[in-house]
Amino acid sequence: MSPKTPALLLILDGWGHAPPGASNAITQAPAARFQALWDEWPHCLLSASGEEVGLPLGLMGNSEVGHTNIGAGRVVYQEITRIDKDIREGGFQRNGAIRGAIEHARRTGGALHLMGLLGNGGVHASDRHYLALLELAASMGLPGERVFFQAILDGRDTPPDSSAGFVQELDACLRAPQRGRIATISGRYYAMDRDRRWDRTRKFWDAIVHGVGERAGDPMQAVRNSFARGLTDEFVLPTIIGDPAAGRVRDGDAVFAFNFRADRMRAISQAFLFPEFAEFERGRVPQVHYATMTQYRADFPCPVAYPPRALKALFGELAAARGLTQFRCAETEKYAHVTFFFNGGREEPYAGEERVLVPSPRVATYDLQPEMCAAGVTDEVLRRLERGAHDVYVVNFANADMVGHTGIQPAAEKAVRTVDDCVGRIVAEALRRGGCAVITADHGNAEMMVDPVTGGPHTAHTTNPVPFVLAGARFRGARLRAMGILADVAPTLMEGMGIPQPVEMDGRSLLRR
């Protein structure tokens, strides 16, 4: 294939593969254009979860993991796996950034605040990690009355009403023996916003720093009060537990943010770390020792327990080295995924890499606007295709994932139809210009809208495989392996483009030779 013809990689976020059924929003929508592409062109399925994407066995994939594996062309072992291994082997307990936070609180007589997501979802944080932090703080002699949890509830990567069990488990662990207490509880809607909705972040800040917010006598009362108002885990208003003065973040304290996934901890971290901060009025900012489990952003001036490991010979790097220009496009919710994560944690664009962010709609939840900004993404891509602007296009459509997370199936079906139309238009234009297109996904979601166990809404990702379609005149009649992994996407596209596969990429082309 000539490098002058466009090569497209379309990533349909949250578009898993499952048998047709009443709760499968993709087949119920229906996705007629996608189905036509599936029927016409070589296709197969890809594993997008567990060990085949560098996660623990059986753990569902996510957007960060998926885009990293796709862009790297190899299985990239994720931070959860790295940290779990370190806990087992003792490296976690010797980690300088972790011990430094605990030692700071010991030395100053201040408190240690553990801040992050509760539960076993394994997408942003892990219960194994925060329980190990508690063990270490106790073993280092930090009194339990100076250990506070600023707890964030999930409800997206776990069932929407599952927090009670996680809160009870943590509360029991803190009480016997006395290792600390839960100071605040907040839904991730407020504490982990990544879309610059600073009014949400401010509510979390005000609760943990100023003791301003909802009140509850104990952690379970906070959960019950929220459920009584019809607010599930994700949307629990920042709530102060017990005495509002007791668990606030103060001068001399240490704050350790234990989420291992970066994107949704950047907003609150900026409020703590940047002296010049104009996103909202912070009031008096406590002078604290702030540390993070992983690097949330390269310019954050704080200790990091697990710094990023450099990845070399990635798809974007190899394309740039051959003088190919690239276009990366997504709306706000997934922009970091087609840029930072796809490039293996690199912030800077490669030479010849154009990036366009299409702002996501300003709605409370995306079931209110299932179309999101897919049309805007499509327009940006089509404009560049029509003028032959780039050689390579990496594009994300967020709808199936973001609307799938709401658990509202009619909205998810509308989201699927929107993406289906956009993909059909883009692929048709690429093929008209002699190009090729890979259509795939990073993980499943919208293909399971009802929890098969509870019968209630299913809002989390799935462990289902994802589709892979290879469209282009050169590939008509080609045979693919029946099953692959996300790491195989880049080698397949590179083979079609005539780019040699480097030894660092251990993914295998899906094309049968």
For 470-502, the pLDDT digits (tens) are 999 999 999 999 999 999 999 999 999 999 999
User: How many Å apart are CA 24 and CA 42, to the nearest integer?
Assistant: 23
> Over the stretch 121-134, which tens digit does the pLDDT of each residue have?
899 999 999 999 99
Instruction: Beginning with the edge strand found earlier in the chain, give each strand of the sheet holding 43-47 in spatial order.
Output: 353-358, 326-331, 392-397, 7-12, 436-440, 466-471, 43-47, 483-485
Q: Residue 200: which of 247, 237, 148, 255 has the closest Cα? A: 237
Which band of pLDDT confidence, cut at 50, 70 and 90, is reported for residue 258? very high
Structure tokens that stand for 379 in this block: 């327009």
**CATH code of the domain occupying 80-306:** 3.40.1450.10
Give me the helices (H) in 433-513, please.
489-497
Q: Say if residues 434 and 388 touch (Cβ distance below 8 Å).
A: no
C-alpha–C-alpha distance, residues 283 and 301, integer Å: 21
The pair of structure tokens assigned to 439 is 């259509």
Q: How far apart, in Å, are the Cα atoms of 456 and each of 62, 188, 441?
A: 22, 20, 25
Q: Classify the C-alpha dihedral 402-404-406-412 as positive or negative.
A: positive
pLDDT at residue 172 in the model: 93
Phi, psi of 254 (to 5 degrees): -115, 135
Residue 312, pLDDT above cutoff 60: yes
Q: Are 343 and 316 spatial neighbours (Cβ–Cβ below 8 Å)?
A: yes
Place of tokens 């003065």: 245
| Distance (Å, whole) CA 335 – CA 354 | 12
Place of tokens 């497209």: 8
Q: What is the C-alpha to C-alpha distance for residues 350 and 32, in angstroms, rounded to an integer?
A: 36
List b or e across 183-212, with b for residues whose CB sees 16 or more CB atoms inside 10 angstroms. Answer: bbbbbbbbbbbbbeebebbbbbbbbbbbbb
Rounded CA separation 173/167 (Å):
10
DSSP 8-class letter at 177: T
Which residue type occupies 362?
R
Which of the following is catalytic: 23, 49, 63, 163?
A: 63
- Indicate whether this model's pTM tops 0.75: yes
For 249, the enclosing helix (H) or strand (E) is none
What is the pLDDT at residue 121?
Answer: 87
Q: Is 247 helix (H, G, I), strand (E, B) or coil?
A: coil
What's the pLDDT at 329?
A: 99
> What's 450's DSSP letter?
B
Tell me how far CA of residue 8 lies from CA of 253, 334, 342, 472, in angstroms: 49, 17, 14, 10
pLDDT band at residue 2 under the 50/70/90 scheme: very low
Place of tokens 């066995």: 57
Give the residue from 144, 155, 157 showing the smallest Cα distance to 183: 144
**Per-residue pLDDT reduced to its tens digit, 223-254:** 999 999 999 999 999 999 999 889 999 999 99
Per-residue model confidence (pLDDT) at position 177: 84
CA angle 314, 59, 122 (to 5 degrees): 90
Specify whether the CB–CB gap between 401 and 411 falls below 8 A: no
Token output for 117: 């997501």
Q: How far apart are CA 89 and CA 334, in angstroms?
A: 35
Sign of CA dihedral 192, 193, 196, 202: negative
Catalytic, 63? Answer: yes
Separation between Cα atoms, residue 166 and residue 284, nearest integer Å: 32
CATH number belonging to the domain at 7-76+311-497, selected among 3.40.720.10, 1.10.1660.10, 3.40.50.720, 3.40.47.10: 3.40.720.10
Same fold, 7-76+311-497 and 80-306: no
How would residue 513 be classed by pLDDT, with cut points 50, 70 and 90?
confident
Average pLDDT, the chain: 97
Let me know: does 332 contact 402? Beta carbons within 8 Å.
Answer: no
Rounded to an integer, what distance in angstroms lies between the CA atom of residue 45 and that of residue 400? 18
Please check whether residue 366 is in contact with residue 96, taking contact to mean a CB–CB distance below 8 angstroms.
Answer: no
What distance in Å separates the CA atoms of residue 67 and residue 11, rounded to the nearest whole number? 9
Domain spans of the chain, in order of start? 7-76+311-497, 80-306
- pLDDT classification of 4: cutoffs 50, 70, 90: low
Taking 50 as the threshold, does the pLDDT of residue 3 lie above it? no
Determine the average pLDDT of the residues in 43-54: 98
Burial class (CB in 10 A: 0-12, 13-18, 19+), 96: exposed
Please answer whether residues 89 and 132 qualify as being in contact, where contact means their C-beta atoms are separated by less than 8 angstroms.
no
Q: Which of 166-180, 393-407, 436-450, 471-485 has the lowest mean pLDDT?
A: 166-180
Q: Where are the alpha helices (DSSP H) in 392-513?
A: 399-404, 409-432, 489-497
| Strand order across the beta sheet in which 254-257 lies | 214-216, 239-241, 181-187, 147-153, 112-117, 254-257, 289-294, 304-306
Spatial distance between the Cα atoms of 111 and 144, rounded to a whole number of angstroms: 9
